[in-house]
């Protein structure tokens, strides 16, 4: 198995200027693995759900080559629930509710079949749980990537810093990078974050693309300008899943390949926002993804001419 992900498998309720959903399936782990499945025939997920979680959804993940033996089902308990409301610009949101439920005492178990994975993706989750997964991998993966959010910076900063010191790559959004580093400039923020452990930092800027800081190198990828953004929930996780799926499938984490992986992740994220929840990721084909990747390449591709 090339890629193992730990992350929430959840219920979300979303409010946006386009409408409102009841409880729908979400969770960082769900978006990450669905995105990575466009590049990997086989991968593993570690998570926990309650008795209320639909079995069919787990089977749908399985049908995409996602090994679900690492998802614990807690009888008599409720699945993690998150609810958020987007502002009119669709780029910022408020968390309305976070009910940890089964995530509160989550003891992540790494199935034997997942041992020896070369790539590990720590989805947005309690930093203590993320650290436990690293410690429970018998061999250190070649590349450990970590996502996090302001929620954990507010309530578990010390644990977050401990986990960060163990990872190679941190993927966060611009607001979170500023909060974590205490500085506004993203170039400075990346420098400060790199001193905390991860040699590589990716800063997601929503509709303004993503920045990659890799040792002394820097790369910027735009987001695809879309006419309509319907629901940005999970776009960041989808980006991370597409990125790690591409890296794991090509087994290459050089700076050059990370540039390609960023485009792969950005293309998948551009689909994710077109409908509520995971709906769009479940309906698109690899061909549609490839066409969108071509659009990304064309978007920033030009030849400079010298004029006098
Ligand atoms: P994103 O829009 O990429 O930041 O991710 C949204 C997803 O993250 C939603 O589907 C939520 O279920 C999940 N999520 C939100 N808050 C948390 C949290 N504190 N821990 C784990 N997962 C979360």
Pocket residue to mutate for ligand 1, from 9, 10, 175, most atoms within 8 A of Cβ: 10
What's the farthest any 2 CA atoms get from each other in the chain?
75
Q: What is the C-alpha separation between 255 and 181, in angstroms, rounded? A: 23
Q: What is the C-alpha separation between 7 and 239, in angstroms, rounded? A: 14
pLDDT at 240 over 80: yes
* Ligand 1 centroid, distance to 2 Cα (angstroms): 24
Pocket residue to mutate for ligand 1, from 14, 32, 93, 124, most atoms within 8 A of Cβ: 124
Lowest mean pLDDT among 96-110, 165-179, 216-230: 216-230
* Ligand 1 centroid, distance to 212 Cα (angstroms): 22
Pocket residue to mutate for ligand 1, from 49, 82, 266, most atoms within 8 A of Cβ: 82
Six-digit token pair at 89?
A: 């610009």
Pocket residue to mutate for ligand 1, from 28, 108, 204, most atoms within 8 A of Cβ: 28
Contacts of 112 (CB under 8 A, 6+ apart): none
Closest protein CA for atom 16 of ligand 1: 82
Q: Looking at residues 167-194, what average pLDDT do you find? A: 96
Contacts of 232 (CB under 8 A, 6+ apart): 86, 90, 91, 93, 206, 272, 273
Question: 124 CB under 6 A from ligand 1?
Answer: yes
Position 231 scores a pLDDT of 87
Q: Looking at residues 143-152, what average pLDDT do you find? A: 94
* Ligand 1 centroid, distance to 298 Cα (angstroms): 32
Q: Looking at residues 256-276, what average pLDDT do you find? A: 95
* 3-state percent breakdown (helix, strand, coil) of the chain, nearest 5: 40, 25, 35
Q: pLDDT digits over 81-140, tens only?
A: 999 999 888 778 889 999 999 999 999 999 999 999 999 999 999 999 999 999 999 999
Q: Please, which pLDDT band fits residue 202 given cuts at 50, 70 and 90?
A: very high
Position 88 scores a pLDDT of 83
Position 191 scores a pLDDT of 96
* Tokens 């001419």 -> residue: 305
pLDDT at 187 over 80: yes
Contacts of 264 (CB under 8 A, 6+ apart): 38, 39, 242, 243, 245, 246, 293
Q: What is the C-alpha separation between 121 and 21, in angstroms, rounded? A: 28
Q: What is the C-alpha separation between 193 and 181, in angstroms, rounded? A: 6
* Ligand 1 centroid, distance to 52 Cα (angstroms): 18
Contact call for residues 13 and 265 (beta carbons, < 8 A): no
Closest protein CA for atom 13 of ligand 1: 27
The pTM of this model reads 0.96
CA dihedral 223, 44, 38, 83 (to 10 degrees): -40
Contact call for residues 62 and 34 (beta carbons, < 8 A): no
CA dihedral 171, 172, 174, 178 (to 10 degrees): -110
Q: What is the C-alpha separation between 296 and 308, in angstroms, rounded? A: 31
Contact call for residues 84 and 12 (beta carbons, < 8 A): yes
The H or E element spanning position 101 is none
Position 91 scores a pLDDT of 74
Question: 117 CB under 6 A from ligand 1?
Answer: no
Contact call for residues 30 and 10 (beta carbons, < 8 A): yes
Position 90 scores a pLDDT of 77
Phi, psi of 90 (to 5 degrees): 65, 0
Please tell me which residue, 308 or 41, carries the higher pLDDT value.
41
Position 5 scores a pLDDT of 98
Please give the sequence-ordered ranges of beta strands (E in DSSP) within 17-142, or none if there are none: 19-20, 24-26, 43-50, 66-74, 81-86, 93-99, 119-122
Q: Which of 66, 70, 58 is nearest to 36 (CA)?
A: 66
Closest protein CA for atom 10 of ligand 1: 27
Q: Please, which pLDDT band fits residue 206 given cuts at 50, 70 and 90?
A: confident
């Amino acid at each position: 198995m090339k890629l193992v992900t730990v992350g929430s498998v959840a219920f979300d309720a979303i409010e946006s200027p386009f409408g409102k959903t009841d409880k729908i399936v979400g969770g960082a782990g769900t978006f990450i693995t669905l995105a990575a499945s466009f590049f990997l025939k086989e991968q593993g997920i570690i998570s926990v759900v309650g008795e209320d979680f639909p079995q069919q959804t787990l089977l749908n993940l399985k049908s995409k080559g996602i090994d679900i033996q690492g998802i614990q089902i807690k009888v008599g308990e409720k699945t993690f629930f998150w609810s958020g409301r987007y502002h009119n610009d669709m780029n910022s949101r408020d968390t309305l509710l976070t009910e940890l439920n089964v995530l509160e005492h989550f003891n992540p178990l790494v199935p034997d079949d997942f041992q020896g994975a070369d790539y590990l993706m720590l989805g947005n989750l309690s930093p203590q749980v993320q650290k436990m997964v690293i410690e429970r991998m018998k061999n250190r993966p070649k590349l450990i990537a970590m996502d996090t959010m302001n929620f954990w910076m507010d309530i578990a900063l010390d644990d977050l810093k401990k986990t960060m010191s163990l990872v190679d790559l941190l993927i966060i959004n611009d607001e979170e990078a500023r909060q974590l580093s205490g500085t506004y400039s993203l170039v400075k923020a990346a420098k400060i974050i790199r001193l905390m452990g991860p040699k590589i930092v990716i800063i997601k800027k929503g509709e303004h693309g993503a920045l990659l800081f890799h040792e002394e190198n820097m790369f910027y990828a735009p987001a695809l300008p879309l006419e309509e953004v319907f629901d940005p929930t999970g776009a960041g996780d989808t980006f991370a899943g597409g990125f790690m799926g591409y890296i794991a499938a090509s087994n290459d984490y050089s700076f050059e390949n990370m540039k390609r992986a960023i485009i792969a992740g950005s293309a998948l994220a551009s689909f994710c926002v077109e409908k509520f929840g995971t709906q769009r990721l479940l309906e698109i084909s690899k061909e549609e993804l490839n066409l969108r990747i071509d659009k990304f390449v064309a978007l920033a591709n030009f030849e400079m001419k010298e004029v006098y």
